Amino acid sequence: MSPQPLSAILTDIVETDRDHLTLADLTARFGGRAIGALLFVLGLACTLPLPPGATTIFGLPLLALAAQLALGATQPWLPERVKAREIPAAKLRSGLARAIPWLRRVEAVSRPRLAGMFSPLGQRLIGGVCTLLAVVLILPIPLGNMLPALAVSTLSFSLIQRDGLIAILGHAAAVASAGVLALAGHIIVRALQQAWALVAAA
């Protein structure tokens, strides 16, 4: 029997009438695909327009899970207090409701391929890349969360689908994230240097 599509599981979550969900609830719901699915949901949550500091709330468990994947784990482990942390269901439902139609379209054309992308080394590589991206998501970088979070969601979705083509797209998004962040950092440094030069010349 084929496992339930991720979009169907997320639809059940969207339709819940609970005010809060916990990571323990999500872990139980995702079963054997929990580590990839949790990375997907947490990455997706970080793409939402959240108040300052909220990406840190999602980024810390994302960092822990990505690091576990990089070390070869196949099932997630989180401290009990982290698993019990409540996630506002309304905010999560809003983001998932927008993502599910797109997810269904991708699931319709996705299939297992390029299996080498998911060898033990390939999965560790995905975990390592997601770990670096999670570090970026924790940092208070204005508007710096969208592309890294999208890369995490894409890579984790490729794990669930075992679709190497999606994994390649995820790695490409991660490289693009690094490029954008490097460019932003360069612009900020140059602006600070010019401001300092103006102050020194005054």
| Interatomic CA distance for residues 46 and 148, integer angstroms | 9
| Interatomic CA distance for residues 145 and 187, integer angstroms | 17
| Interatomic CA distance for residues 23 and 115, integer angstroms | 29
Lowest mean pLDDT among 14-23, 74-83, 106-115, 155-164: 14-23
CA angle 148, 149, 152 (to 5 degrees): 90
pLDDT tens-digit series, residues 45-89: 887 766 666 666 778 889 999 999 999 988 888 888 878 877 766
pLDDT score, position 49:
67
The helix/strand/coil state of 2 is coil
C-beta separation of 6 from 103 below 8 A: yes
114 vs 117, 154, 166, 167, CA distance in Å? 6, 16, 10, 9
pTM of the model: 0.87
21 vs 9, 100, 105, 135, 194, CA distance in Å? 14, 18, 26, 24, 48
pLDDT tens-digit series, residues 153-190: 999 999 999 999 999 999 999 999 888 888 877 787 88
